[in-house]
Amino acid sequence: MQFFGAILIKSELTIDELNNFYLDYREDEWSYLVEKQESNLISVIEIGNTTFKALNADERLVNYYIVYNWGSSKFPLSDLDLRGH
């Protein structure tokens, strides 16, 4: 089963510093990616209008970043989870 996970962080670090920090945790090219977050819209996924609900649509974001992960699970009962079908 494939998944997408993301967190929104506010940091005084630069994007390069954040990428260097998360580098130690990366398992592959799709894990712990960091991008600047400039609105409440999560633009790294192309499904609908997925947003961070804690942010207002017109809020000006300074020093906000999205840290996200694409992955898959070998959970043996994943085919019984209807959310992914």
pLDDT score of 82: 54
Q: What is the mean pLDDT of the chain?
A: 83
pLDDT score of 81: 55
Furthest CA-CA distance within the chain: 43
Domain residue ranges of the chain, discontinuous segments joined by +: 2-84
Could you give the count of Cα atoms lying within 13 Å of 13 in the half-sphere of its Cβ? 14
Q: Please provide residue 4's backbone torsions phi and psi, each rounded to the nearest 5 degrees.
A: -130, 130
pLDDT band at 76 (very low <50, low <70, confident <90, very high): low
Between CA 39 and CA 11 the distance in angstroms is 15
Express each pLDDT in 47-64 by its tens digit.
Answer: 778 888 877 767 778 899
